[in-house]
Structure 1
Amino acid sequence: MDQVNARIEKLPFGRPTALGVWVTGICFLIPAFYLFTHGQMRILIAFMFFGALLMSWTLNRTLGIAATFTFLLTLGDIRRILDMIAPSYQGLDLLLLVGPIFAVYLAVPLLMRLKVADTISKAVLALMALMIVEIFNPRQGSIIVGVSGALFYVIPILWFWIARNYATDRMMDTLIYRVFLPIGILDGLLGVAQAYVGFFPWERDWALKLGNQYLYHAGHMRSFGFSTGASEFASTLLIASVCVLAAIFAGKRAYILLLPILLAASLLASSRGLIVKLLFAGAMIWAVRSKGGKNWLPRFIFALVVGLGLTYYSASHAGGDEPRSAQSDTASTAQIATAHVTQGLADPGHSTAGLHWQIFVGGIVKGFTYPIGTGIGAITLGAGKFAAGGATMGSSEVDISDAFITMGFFGGFLYLFIIYMVFRLAFFYIREGSLSMSLTYMGLFAALIGAWLALGQYSTAPFIWFCIGSLVRKQSLLQSAGFQSKSSNVKALKNVTASRV
């Protein structure tokens, strides 16, 4: 155990120094003053956010991670409010680059001295290398398209390496239950207010300017909370709901009080997939919570069937006719959102599950049609913005089939292998780790399967890969310590992950 503690002390958690903070601050003041005097307000604000993240990281690792994900989770409203002060012009918003640049800043030094021994890290490294090669795939057109695709493929995976080196239990508890969950609750409250009360002026102006991704029925806007879009809003609610369910099944009954807020917001988010994914995650959490996950499959099937049955019964008795005439009042917006969800769950004729399945299978087939893939930028928004005559195609909306499309069948199978190994590791943690965190991990991986590399989601994709990296770190520390017995593993897991941040 002394060897384990000595090894932990050598890890680069870092200790804050007043000199480092002052030097960092002074280095940012000079260019900030230049940008201010030349009227480059949008660049200045992006620069200030990056400086704030860098200083918080210098002060404390956990503080830096908490600040980064707080920024990513509220990035949508930050951009919308800033657009009133300094309107953005056509092109890439520099605020979208703050998180990726910070991830590169943290990850590159780690990758330069990288040593991998575990299977997941080797597979992730191979996947990332393949993604970098696919940046130059000529089928997607300009290399700029490939670089834009890297924002949604390579950047989230960088957070895996960051967590693999820095994530402790204290950091993960802070990130999940003191950052993501509270912001998810506030996000849900804002979403409910947007559906029933209306949108703030900056939110409405922004949504009307961008159009289709915010509008879903006769000009009515769907709720999007603090997020950059409705899909990321739904994923944020899903993550927060899973965290609450995991805490409840781990014996923290007070978290039940948070469920009504999240369930109401989820219903008003007008996302049927969100409801189904939450049922899937809830069934998985319940199935693995006892007996160390043994015989989990029959329990999971039973819970999922019961959950889907109750959902169908509730939706079929609650769903009314969707209003045919568009109304401008906010009450009809909530009514339309609710009807959209309940009708899709109660009536297969209103469901788009069959269409999504066809698109998913079509994506898998494309992996064999184009064995080298189409490039990681071919299915992103960057293809439409930067492509100049290149071959582009839309996303299948499931990252597994997207992996086959963008990286060919080899990349698709490699990604499937990573998913398998991550779930295998999560089951190990169910047996060896703390109940609360192990249920949280399992629920998150199950809920977001098919969206670990969700396009256009600047917070949730980095978050899930950060969680994966933290689990791999626990495994690596145990293996490097050389513990063999189950009882020793339990003690070691608690000791090595309780190190000071």
Structure 2
Amino acid sequence: MYAILHKFQGNRAMKTILWIVFFSMCGYLLGRAVVDPTKIRIILFAAISLVFTALSISQPRWVLFGLLIYLPFMGFLRRALIPSSGWSSFDPLVILAPAMIMLLGSYWVYWTYIRRQGIPKDEDTRLFKLVRWMILIDAVQVFNPLQGSLLTGLGGVMFYIVPLFWMVLSRIYLNGRWMKVICGTVCLIGVISALYGLKQIYYGFLNFEESWIDVAGYAALMIGNGSRAFSLYTNAAEYTLYLVISIVIAWVLLLRGTILLRLASVMMLPLLCYAMFMQSQRTPVFLTAFSLAIVTVMSVRRGAARVIITVIVGISLLASFSAITKIQSESALIAHQVNGLANPFDEEHSTALTHLAMFQNGLLHGFQMPIGQGLGITTLAAKMSDTGASSEVDLSNIMISDGIIGGAIYGLIIFEALRMAFREANSSTTGLIILGILLATIGSWSIGGNYSTCAIIWLCIGYLDKITLIRRRELSECVNNGSIVEK
């Protein structure tokens, strides 16, 4: 047998024939699969996964960048396949990005803990330690029986552990040049999605989008006789949050960018802001205004000028708010937005008090069940066991899922990330962008279903941690050099 195999290996003609037979069989099986419309999603998943898996070994940065492009368009792709392959909540295209991030994350876990390379003390930070503890607690909560099903816990991995791995991977692989490319790409996708979202509002949905609305029972879209847009994304909330992130990036580039970048920002901002306003969601408007005010003040480095800018920004916000509340329009979306902004604590026009009560109840649940109720119970994965308990705010969701300890660690992560962002905002434009993004999306850093925005947020946190580590090394070198000179 060995002699026969050796003879085959040395026979080029035989090897060629075997390869032809192999690829012919693969082509035949692929053709059979394509004929069956229900297999299209699996084929797409397999094809894209193979490309990303191959790149993950030698070009992990391109994998991260490719996934950042894929995620905003994932919802549109899934809906576009409805006419040919129907709709399924358990779509393999949804787990494509989480699977790739977990694959890259597993490389890090293998080399760090199994191969015991460890994390050098001079390459560690307080934030990174907190994130590693958060990953460990989340992993334990996967097996919490209170969530009703192990599948629910495994589903929770996609919404809580995967974002933390985005942080780890960006800390390892990204640099300043890549962050600039990512920020520009996010703005470009934001403009494209804003145009398509306004098309949905003014010209209606495509046939496959209407089919998806019917199947999903997406009643939250309807505001009077109007409808919110969801653009290219999996839901309207993710679309709105992506617009918010794009607005922050464009605004900071307007403040600190080159002439060309400022010109581009001037062209993008009206479209992005109008598209966000037409989503008729009040919390993003408040948080975006707050975030832009903070980054505008932080963009001025001198104390006296900063005071003047603070006064100007405050007056501008009051004037803008007053002007918005006086808008009168027949559009149900605009009327809903204006009434909510003008009456934020009126339950007839605003749901602010309802959301506040949900947040408080979520925190209270964490104290009532200090060991947590399971990783997946506050995510979309809870549908598998009918045990959903989302409070729609990430901190209170973590309190419900992970209990007091997990909630406390997550709260410290938020505090530490914001502290580092404020410090870095004084040093670089990218740091100012990250600060704006974190402030504008506070409460939504780990909300299940916001696939693309969660990836951007935690990628920014990872890069922030990396750049903070670099600053610390530079300061240490300066101190050492100073000591040498003195001697």
User: Is this a same-fold pair by TM over 0.5?
Assistant: yes
Q: Which residue of the partner structure matches residue 197 of structure 1?
A: 203
* Kept after mapping to 2: 8 A contact 1:195/1:222: yes
1:268 partner amino acid: M
Deviation at 1:47, TM superposition (A): 1.1
Q: Which residue of the partner structure matches residue 274 of structure 1?
A: 284
Deviation at 1:264, TM superposition (A): 1.3
Deviation at 1:459, TM superposition (A): 0.8
Deviation at 1:306, TM superposition (A): 3.9
Deviation at 1:396, TM superposition (A): 1.3
Q: Which residue of the partner structure matches residue 485 of structure 2?
A: none
Q: Which residue of the partner structure matches residue 336 of structure 1?
A: 332
Q: Which residue of the partner structure matches residue 100 of structure 1?
A: 98
TM-score (norm 2): 0.83
* Kept after mapping to 1: 8 A contact 2:147/2:373: yes
**Cα distance in structure 2, aligned partners of 1:203 and 1:345:** 30
Distance 1:316-1:80 versus aligned 2 partners, 3 A rule: same
* Kept after mapping to 1: 8 A contact 2:431/2:464: no
**Cα distance in structure 2, aligned partners of 1:162 and 1:477:** 16
* Kept after mapping to 2: 8 A contact 1:400/1:416: yes
Q: Which residue of the partner structure matches residue 397 of structure 1?
A: 392
**Cα distance in structure 2, aligned partners of 1:423 and 1:302:** 23
The counterpart of 1:184, out of the listed 170, 187, 190, is 190
Distance 1:208-1:29 versus aligned 2 partners, 3 A rule: farther
Distance 1:316-1:487 versus aligned 2 partners, 3 A rule: farther
Deviation at 1:238, TM superposition (A): 0.5
Q: Which residue of the partner structure matches residue 77 of structure 2?
A: 78
Residue 135 (str. 1) matches residue 142 (str. 2): yes
TM-score (norm 1): 0.81
Residue 376 (str. 1) matches residue 382 (str. 2): no
The counterpart of 2:326, out of the listed 295, 298, 317, is 317
* Kept after mapping to 2: 8 A contact 1:360/1:396: yes
Mapping of residues 425-440 of structure 1, within 5 Å: 425-432=420-427, 434=428, 436-440=429-433
**Cα distance in structure 2, aligned partners of 1:211 and 1:372:** 34
**Cα distance in structure 1, aligned partners of 2:221 and 2:48:** 30
SS, match of residue 98 in structure 2: helix
Deviation at 1:158, TM superposition (A): 0.9
* Bigger radius of gyration among the two: 2
**Cα distance in structure 2, aligned partners of 1:267 and 1:232:** 14
Distance 1:144-1:279 versus aligned 2 partners, 3 A rule: same
Deviation at 1:430, TM superposition (A): 2.3
SS, match of residue 226 in structure 1: coil
Deviation at 1:214, TM superposition (A): 5.2
**Cα distance in structure 2, aligned partners of 1:274 and 1:299:** 26
Count residues with an aligned counterpart.
441
Q: Which residue of the partner structure matches residue 492 of structure 1?
A: none
* Kept after mapping to 2: 8 A contact 1:192/1:264: no
Q: Deviations for 1:69-89, whole angstroms, at most 9, x for unmatched residues?
A: 110011110101122222234
Residue 421 (str. 1) matches residue 421 (str. 2): no
SS, match of residue 43 in structure 2: helix
Q: Deviations for 1:125-162, whole angstroms, at most 9, x for unmatched residues?
A: 00111011111111111111111111111111111111
Distance 1:430-1:293 versus aligned 2 partners, 3 A rule: farther
SS, match of residue 318 in structure 1: coil
* Kept after mapping to 1: 8 A contact 2:299/2:426: no
* Kept after mapping to 2: 8 A contact 1:207/1:214: no
Deviation at 1:103, TM superposition (A): 0.4
Deviates more, 1:350-359 or 1:221-230: 350-359
Distance 1:364-1:222 versus aligned 2 partners, 3 A rule: same
Distance 1:251-1:218 versus aligned 2 partners, 3 A rule: closer
Q: Gaps (5+ residues) in structure 1?
A: 1-26, 322-334, 490-501
Identical aligned residues as a percent? 28
**Cα distance in structure 2, aligned partners of 1:424 and 1:218:** 42
* Kept after mapping to 1: 8 A contact 2:424/2:432: no
**Cα distance in structure 1, aligned partners of 2:172 and 2:460:** 12
SS, match of residue 53 in structure 1: helix
Q: Which residue of the partner structure matches residue 152 of structure 1?
A: 159
* Kept after mapping to 2: 8 A contact 1:373/1:405: yes
Tell me which protein shows more helix as a share of its residues. 2
Q: CA RMSD in A?
A: 2.8
Distance 1:293-1:401 versus aligned 2 partners, 3 A rule: farther
Q: Deviations for 1:445-496, whole angstroms, at most 9, x for unmatched residues?
A: 111111110121111111111111112122334545673449999xxxxxxx
Residue 470 (str. 1) matches residue 476 (str. 2): no
Residue 448 (str. 1) matches residue 441 (str. 2): yes
